[in-house]
Amino acid sequence: MKFLTEDGHHYNGKIIKLTKITQDNKLTNVFIKNYPMCLAIDYIKVVWAERNLRRGSKDPRKQVIAMWEGEVPAYLELAGTRSCKIEKYVGKPAFCGKCHE
């Protein structure tokens, strides 16, 4: 059984409450494609979001990595623009570095 932490019980000087994870409060990392450059990231209601940057120049792309709360839709409909496709985000793998020695 998995749990999210919220305010409630005392632990290490903080108050923590354990709640069961459901479809309504589940947090998922998502990748939003085709998000317009003219819209601020604050326009969408997510837990956190950051725009994906190009490797060398650090210029922003039309892609946003975000933390979605609840059920993830397949598309995000924005007023006045085309819809943005939403996919689950899989981060880069963490390597131990032994195979590169």
The predicted structure's pLDDT at residue 86: 92
pLDDT in tens, 31-75: 999 888 888 888 888 888 888 888 878 888 888 899 988 888 899
Examine the pLDDT at 9 and tell me if it is beyond 60: no
Tokens of 20: 């069961």
DSSP state of 13: T
Domain ranges across the chain: 26-90
Residue 92 DSSP label: P
Distance CA(36)–CA(60), nearest Å, equals 11
Per-residue pLDDT at 85? 92
Query: 43-66 burial, b for 16+ CB within 10 Å, e for fewer?
Result: ebeeeebebeeeeeeeeeeeebeb
Q: What is the pTM of this model?
A: 0.66
Mean pLDDT on 25-33: 87
Architecture in CATH for domain 26-90: 2-Layer Sandwich (3.30)
pLDDT score recorded for residue 81: 81
